[in-house]
Amino acid sequence: MSDLLSQEEINALLQGMDDGEIETEVENFEDKSSAKEYDFSSQERIVRRRIPTLEMINERFSKSLRTSLFKFLHRSPEIFMSGIQIRKFSEYVDGLHVPANLNIIRYSPLRGRAIIEMEPSLIFAVVDNFFGGGGQFYGTSGEAREFTLTEMRIVQMLLDMMFKNLKEAWKPVMELNFEYLGSEINPSFASIVGAEDIVMISAINVALESGGGDIKIVMPYSMIEPIRGLLDTIGDDSDESDLRWKNALRNEVLRASVPVNGFLVEKKISIGDVLRFKKGDVIPIDMPKTMLLKASGVPIYSGKACVSEGYYAMQVIDRVKLR
């Protein structure tokens, strides 16, 4: 028997459905065409726009932090920027583990409070390097525990260092002072804003030979909002950065050492004559009126040979024009 219906059977089936002789089950479908309300003035939507100036501040901070850590540990760390994340504060807290190192700080004169979070793995690595260890064993057990007094002292030293770096990084935008308010290991006690409020998380990864971890700066959007216009107006400080870079490069070049030689006379001699030289031979030359002073083989000044305070010397006459 064929599983396919004939045309007559199909027509009879359709006729029965139309006449009501065959019952059909009506399935209730959810109306998916209903629109959801969307608040175009919501904080989450507004903050999604990039803030290039804040990114440049973070870049300046990471560079100065690298230099400060090198002076602090006498070891060169690697610093990696992870950009700025926009999240609800509850989402940030849900990703934390106990114990956490959450340092509550104030950005004066900005309103509100912020958090500087340091991962335990980074704290362990810094403490180990600070006391000359290699990091093979310290803090690697994975056991959840509170931080020791020594570890918290190192954390405080790191915070003092970062406050100076942050102050310098923010200086082109505005003068800020940073104040330490306290530390928490339980995220439940570190509520700087409401659970649904938006925060901006700047993540910086610090890598040392013995390990490392993230530093996260968590700023409520309500803290940034009053100066959002200032940040958008400043936009790009490339001109200022270029000037600082040029001045720094110029200072480094001026401190560089180069070999300087005074050339009194040159004479071309055949290889045969050179090979026949012997002790006591005299090479006739025409004494020039001036001589060249060369730096790394490049003529820079003309002058004349003289004697100064009993030493052979060269008196500079003029700068050589380079072609």
Enumerate domains of the chain plus CATH numbers: 43-242 (3.40.1550.10), 256-271+286-319 (no CATH)
pLDDT at 142 over 60: no
Q: Looking at 107-116, 131-140, 175-184, 270-279, which range is the least confident one?
A: 131-140
Q: Which of 27-41, 179-193, 308-322 has the highest mean pLDDT?
A: 179-193
Question: Tens digit of pLDDT for each residue in 216-228?
Answer: 999 999 999 888 8
Q: Are 52 and 232 in contact (CB under 8 A)?
A: no
DSSP annotation of 143 reads -
pLDDT at 34 over 80: no
pLDDT at 234 over 80: no
Integer-rounded Cα Rg, in Å, for the chain is: 37
pLDDT at 289 over 70: yes
pLDDT at 141 over 60: no
pLDDT at 2 over 60: no
Contacts of 57 (CB under 8 A, 6+ apart): 169, 170, 173
pLDDT at 250 over 90: no
- Measure Cα distances from 255 to 24, 135, 195, 288 in Å: 93, 38, 54, 33
Confidence band for 246, pLDDT divided at 50, 70 and 90: confident
Q: Which of 57, 156, 173 is nearest to 109 (CA)?
A: 173
Average pLDDT over residues 240-266: 79
Percent of the residues in the chain that have a pLDDT greater than 90, as a whole number? 37
pLDDT at 95 over 60: yes
DSSP annotation of 289 reads S
- The predicted structure's pLDDT at residue 215: 95
Average pLDDT over residues 157-167: 96
